[in-house]
Amino acid sequence: MEKLWSKDYVLNIVGNLLLFVVFYLLMVYTTKLAITEFNVSVSEAGLASGIFIVGALVARLVISRYMDFIGRKRMLIIAVVIHAICTFGYHFIDGMLFLCTLRFVQGMTYGMASTVIATTVASTVIATTVASIVPESRRGEGIGYFTLSITLGSAIGPFLGISLPQINPLYALVLCDVLSISLIVLAFILNITEIKVGFRQRVEVKSFRLRTFFEPTATPISIVALLGAIGYSAVMSYIGTYSETIGLLLGGSLFYIAYSIACLIFRPISGVMIDRYGNHVVMVPILFTMILGFVAIALAHSNLVLLLGAVLVGIGYGSIPSAGQTIAVQKVKLNKFSLATSTLYIALDLGNGIGPYILGMVVPIYGFRAVYMCSAIAALLAFLFYIGMIIKSRKESVAV
């Protein structure tokens, strides 16, 4: 069996973990800050939180086109330096306009950095002329382990974002400062494979057609990811407030731990299963499980049911980034890896960005439980769309 755990592979995982810890920590911190300090509505607080993702979305649209022209390592260093400057800016927030502007700019740097790191791991999966970070035969498994850094970040970040301000509000920001500086150090250490830009890519980058911003073959799985991310955004932004509202504080405090444990166990398994048995064997069950998870959260009247929902969502949505990235890059050439990866992450970012604001508007009218039923509906649409993808591909195979 080919070697998976190389030094560069591990360093990429560590860098991605640090980036996502800061992301999730500030996501939780910002929502609470907006509500308590600036006295805004839940939906407006969701906007302050989600505008970070909108910034990331804007950055990915640009980065996917110009990354290989500017140089991946150079782009990563620029991104993490500006990211650190924005992190220091949280010490000086004095209003919603400053907060939203800061969140948007930092979101752009997050989009730049995460795209570079994710594309580096994905693209070197099939590189035959350079030293591979992940061997081709272990593509799904390698990407699965890599995206566990997102899972750990989604558990560690919110936990610290909730617990540290209760001790001292300054602690959360100081920790983010330290992690951001660590990212700069890692950016200089990382060995990042650069891709030589060909003539056709130089011609395409001058065009502003839709296909120069999105990889068509990655669009179907990206739509599935978008719908799942809209549903999960309600968990990311509101689960703490929701659990407090329904009197399940214990379940709320343990939610991300249960979610992460489920991801840690199942995500590597899903990667191996995609490698061995194909996409559908993994995607159909995880999408159905995601539906059940959101329904369990919406109907929870005990800590046990709420935590069951966390586990089911962890198995379901928690597997989408890794499985989705594996599927997105399966049918593209090496020079299209950055665009395919970016297309998927744009969808995830868009869902996480617009979800808190859209679903937050449901709260004043129907309450928090209705928010998670809407999440279940979004997951159901993702499931039905993927079933449609299967039917379409089989018809095309028969026609050929």
In three-state secondary structure terms, 192 is coil
pLDDT in the model for residue 4: 63
Please, which residues have CB within 8 angstroms of residue 31's CB and are 6 or more apart in sequence? 45, 46, 48, 49, 237, 238, 356
Read off φ and ψ for residue 80, nearest 5 degrees. -70, -30
One digit per residue, the tens of pLDDT, for the chain of length 400 reads: 556 677 777 887 888 889 889 988 888 788 778 877 888 777 777 777 778 878 888 887 777 667 777 778 888 899 999 999 999 999 998 888 899 999 999 999 988 888 777 666 555 433 322 234 555 556 666 766 777 777 778 778 877 887 788 788 789 999 999 999 999 998 888 877 666 666 565 555 566 666 666 788 889 999 999 999 999 988 877 887 788 889 998 888 788 889 888 988 887 787 778 878 888 888 999 999 999 999 999 999 999 999 999 999 999 998 888 788 778 877 777 667 767 877 888 888 788 878 887 888 888 888 889 999 999 999 999 999 999 998 988 887 666 5
pLDDT in the model for residue 99: 92
pLDDT in the model for residue 53: 79
Give start and end residues of each alpha helix (H) in the chain: 7-38, 42-70, 72-89, 96-123, 139-167, 169-189, 199-205, 219-245, 249-277, 279-299, 303-316, 320-328, 337-360, 363-366, 368-399
Query: From the CB of residue 284, how many other CB atoms can be counted at a distance below 10 Å?
Result: 14
Sign of CA dihedral 232, 238, 292, 310: positive
Residue holding tokens 């607080």?
Answer: 45
Using left for φ > 0, alpha for ψ between -120 and 50, and beta otherwise, residue 41 falls in: beta
- Return the closest-CA partner of residue 319 out of 255, 379, 243: 379
Q: Which two tokens stand for residue 173?
A: 């920001």
Measured CA to CA, the distance from residue 213 to residue 207 in angstroms comes to 10
pLDDT in the model for residue 122: 53
pLDDT in the model for residue 131: 31
Q: Which amino acid is at 170?
A: L
pLDDT in the model for residue 135: 59
Q: Is the pTM of this model over 0.85?
A: no
92 burial (CB, 10 Å; 0-12 / 13-18 / 19+) is: exposed
Q: Which two tokens stand for residue 392?
A: 């379409």
pLDDT in the model for residue 2: 58
Are the beta carbons of 296 and 165 closer than 8 angstroms?
A: no
